[in-house]
């Protein structure tokens, strides 16, 4: 961490978005994480994505659990709603908040410990319920706050900083999310913002459960030779299947790609995803294919990144439950408690 606050001055030529904000306006407090932490780059990417989408900060709820990753919502969107919940319980709190007010944008920020160990069940259920959210796991494969034990996402055979080899099998959160029916699944790397920022932007615009696994090297405990989550290892083994541009409104799709290599996916809200294929055979609409592709590459030690699966026709929990369009928290007492006559009627219908 640093002792001084980040100076308020900003570059005089910074561009402003549609709301008149610069990207500096989407910042939060100064990070207290270790110098060089990958999580800070994810923070910067969230800031950039929200700035580019011209999101009104007060329309965002950022919810987290416990851990280095879960501290980060303090470092972005200083004017948004925030809830730092119990360890592993971010998904339940987010689900509850989402049910109460469907109008907000929900950002769930979690880590590998928070989501793959103590909150594994919570993670699974929020995905399978299709909560409309962007669920970001800042995945460094290590328990940084307790000085570097392997987490559940550490690869078998990878080495700790002290030289101990991990003998447990790793949980691949992307594979689980695909299996549980997430309708937007991506993996990225904190050291590659050009890939990560559009993925976050697209996930925010996606209606349904969006899941992004971001590999985020822990400089203090997991950036050594033998680690599979170090800057060097990820850069050497990164197999990006595609590059993404998010197009909001009627902006023409840029045409500086070779013909036939760009696939346009239109989402429910009218936003379009321009996918530039890097792997000609990869189809991001094929859930089963994606799962197989992941497993095959994982076996070769490759880290597959990019937009791995998207269902543009996705539905969310509110659709499934057929809730009213008006957020529940704004309904008046009459609507919420229509009285005993209505209750009697419902009871009668169930007899």
Partner 1 sequence: MKPTDISAPDYFHKVVDCQWACPAHTPVPEYIRLIAEGRYSDAYMINWKSNVFPGILGRTCDRPCEPACRRGRVEDNPVAICRLKRVAADFKDDIKHRLPKPGPKNGKRVALVGGGPASLAVARDLAPLGYHCTVFDGDPKAGGMMRSQIPKFRLPDSVIDEETDYILDLGVEFKGGQRIDSLKQLLSENYDAIFVGSGAPRGRELDIPGRKEAAANIHIGIEWLANVSFGHVEKIGRRVIVLGGGNTAMDCCRTARRLGGESVKVVVRSGFEEMKASPWEKEDALHEDIPILNYMVPVAFKHVAGKLIGVIFQKVKAEYDAKGRRNLVPSGEPDETIPCDDVLVAVGQENAFPWIEADCGIEFDKWHMPKVDTKTFVSTNPKVFFGGDAAFGPKNIIWAVAHGHDAALSIHKMLSGEDINERALPEVHVSSQKMGIHEWSYDNDISTDKRFKVPHRDKVIALKDIRAEVELGYDLKLALGEAERCLNCDVQTVFAAPLCIECDACVDICPMDCISFTENGEEDDLRQRLKAPSPHHDQALYVSGDLKTGRVMVKDEDVCLHCGLCAERCPTGAWDMQKYLIDMVQAGSTCQSKARSAA
Site string for partner 1, 9-38 (x = CB under 8 A): xxxxxx---------x-----xx--xxxxx
Rounded Cα gap, residues 17 and 20, in angstroms = 5
148 binds partner 1 (CB under 8 A): no
Among 1, 225, 348, 350, binds partner 1 (CB under 8 A): 1
Whether 304 contacts 294, CB under 8 Å: yes
CB closer to partner 1, 22 vs 263? 22
Residue 228's nearest CA partner among 278, 175, 186, 165 is 165
**Is the Cβ of residue 10 or residue 147 nearer to partner 1 in the bound state?**
10
Would you count residue 7 as binding partner 1 (CB under 8 A)? Answer: yes
Q: Between 2 and 340, whose beta carbon lies closer to partner 1? A: 2
Tell me which residue of 116, 174, 305, 150 sits closest to 222, measured CA to CA. Answer: 150
User: Nearer Cβ to partner 1, position 156 or 235?
Assistant: 235
x/- string (CB under 8 A) for partner 1, residues 236-275? ----------------------------------------
Asked if residue 174 lies in contact with residue 185, where contact means CB atoms within 8 angstroms, the answer is yes
Closest distance to partner 1 from the beta carbon of 56 (Å): 23
Query: Nearest distance from residue 239's CB to partner 1, in Å?
Result: 16
> Residue 231 interacts with partner 1 (CB under 8 A)?
yes
CB nearer to partner 1: give 30 or 328.
Answer: 30
Write the binding mask 184 to 223 for partner 1: x where contact by CB under 8 A, - elsewhere: ------xx-x-----------------------x-x---x
* Residue 2 within binding range of partner 1, rule CB under 8 A: yes
Nearer to partner 1, 123 or 221 (CB): 221
Give residues with Cβ within 8 angstroms of 203, minimum separation 6: 134, 136, 184, 186, 210, 211, 212
- Residue 282 CB, shortest distance to partner 1, in Å, is 24
In terms of DSSP bridges, do strands 142-143 and 133-139 run parallel, antiparallel, or are they unpaired? unpaired
- How many residues of this chain bind partner 1 (CB under 8 A)? 35
278 binds partner 1 (CB under 8 A): no
Q: Which is nearer to partner 1, 210 or 216 (CB)?
A: 216
Do 267 and 312 meet the contact criterion of CB atoms below 8 Å apart? yes
Tell me the closest approach of the beta carbon of residue 40 to partner 1, in angstroms.
5
Stretch that binds partner 1, among 116-124, 127-135, 227-235, 262-270 (CB under 8 A): 227-235
Separation of alpha carbons 35 and 218, rounded Å:
10
Q: What angle do CA 182, 187, 191 make, to 5 degrees?
A: 155
Residues that bind partner 1 (CB under 8 A): 1-14, 24, 30-31, 34-38, 40-41, 43-44, 190-191, 193, 217, 219, 223, 231-232, 235
């Amino acid at each position: 961490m640093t002792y001084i606050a980040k100076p308020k001055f900003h570059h005089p030529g910074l561009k402003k978005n549609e709301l008149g904000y610069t990207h500096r306006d989407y910042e939060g407090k100064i990070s207290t994480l270790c110098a060089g932490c990958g999580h800070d780059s994810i923070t910067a990417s969230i800031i950039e994505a929200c700035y580019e989408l011209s999101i009104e900060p007060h329309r965002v709820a950022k919810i987290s659990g416990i851990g280095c990753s879960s501290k980060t919502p303090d470092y972005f969107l200083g004017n948004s709603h925030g809830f730092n919940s119990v360890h592993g319980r971010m998904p339940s709190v987010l689900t509850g908040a989402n049910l109460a007010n469907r109008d907000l944008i929900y950002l769930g920020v979690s880590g590998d410990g928070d989501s793959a160990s103590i909150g594994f069940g919570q993670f699974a259920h929020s995905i399978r319920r299709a909560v409309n959210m962007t669920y970001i796991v800042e995945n460094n494969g290590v328990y940084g706050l307790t000085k570097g034990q392997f987490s559940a996402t550490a690869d078998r055979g990878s080495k700790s900083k002290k030289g101990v080899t991990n003998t447990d099998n790793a949980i691949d959160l992307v594979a689980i999310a695909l299996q549980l029916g997430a309708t937007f699944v991506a993996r990225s790397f904190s050291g590659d913002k050009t890939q990560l920022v559009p993925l976050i932007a697209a996930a925010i615009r996606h209606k349904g459960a969006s899941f992004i696994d971001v590999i985020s090297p822990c400089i203090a405990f997991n950036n050594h030779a033998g680690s599979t989550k170090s800057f060097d290892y990820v850069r050497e083994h990164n197999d990006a299947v595609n590059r993404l541009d998010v197009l909001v409104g009627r902006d023409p799709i840029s045409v500086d790609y070779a013909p036939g290599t760009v696939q346009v996916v239109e989402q429910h809200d009218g936003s379009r995803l321009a996918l530039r294929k890097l792997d000609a055979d990869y189809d991001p609409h094929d859930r089963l294919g994606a799962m197989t592709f992941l497993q095959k590459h994982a076996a070769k030690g490759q880290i597959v990144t990019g937009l791995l699966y998207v269902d543009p026709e996705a539905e969310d929990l509110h659709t499934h439950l057929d809730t009213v369009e008006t957020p529940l928290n704004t309904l008046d007492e009459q609507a919420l408690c229509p009285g005993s006559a209505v209750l009697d009627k419902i009871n009668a219908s169930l007899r």
